[in-house]
Copies of this chain bind each other. A is one copy, B any other.
Amino acid sequence: MFVMGVDPGLTRCGYGVLEWEGDENRSLHTSSTSTASTSSGAKVVAAGVISTDRDLTLPARLAQLQEEFSQLLKEFVPTVVVVERVVFQTNALTAMAVGQASGIALACAYRAGCQVVEYSANEVKMAVTGYGAADKISVQSMVSNLLKLTVEPKPPDVADALALALCHVFTLPFRKAADRATGIGRRHGM
């Protein structure tokens, strides 16, 4: 199955698509994109950023993001979309724009029929680097190593998006086991 990570943002919205032979036995997509395998069996299918023009109005930029993100969902048909859970930052204006972008990503992914999961930045860093307060360079480096990339993913938004997808791949078996043990049922509808 395809797992798409999304690091929401208005100026740069990072995305990264991993192909992963998870436990859902869904038939895999074929792709002509060069891939790199990891020990987890996950391969990078695509990664990049959606950028919107700073000269446009806010509604126009959000509409552009919605359109381009919907196109990506149609192109890759991910089973799971993993979006970073937005929290308040010191820069209020940036945080609100990130919130608006995340709202669009969450709604579009859900309406496209994907399973939608959120993780906080700390959860992602913990899963990928083993340290919940890791800096961006550490995340880029670990994502690059884990996915055996020959070039570090840049800008950091791309690394963060791939890290989100990796976080899901790494932690899903544990969460499922925990859910089975507690009988609570699957988190986030999974």
Residues on A lying within 8 angstroms of B by beta carbon are 57-60, 62-63, 65-67, 86-88, 92, 95-96, 99-104, 106-111, 116, 118, 188-189
Contacts and interface: CB of A to CB of B under 8 A. Distances in A.
A63 B103 contact: no
Given A88-B88, A99-B99, A99-B100, A107 B57 contact: no
Nearest 7 interchain pairs by C-beta: A100-B103, A99-B99, A59-B116, A62-B107, A59-B110, A63-B110, A103-B103
B106 A62 contact: yes
B189 A57 contact: yes
A25 B15 CA distance: 44
A139 B189 CA distance: 40
- The A interface, classified by DSSP as helix, strand, loop or mixed, is helix
Contacts of A106: 58-59, 62-63, 100
Given A99-B96, A116-B57, A63 B104 contact: no
Nearest to A67: B111
A96 B101 contact: no
A73 B109 CA distance: 21
A150 to B, nearest CB: 34
A108 B101 CA distance: 13
Contacts of A103: 62, 99-104
A62 B109 CA distance: 10
A87 B100 CA distance: 12
Contacts of A107: 59, 62-63, 65-66, 104
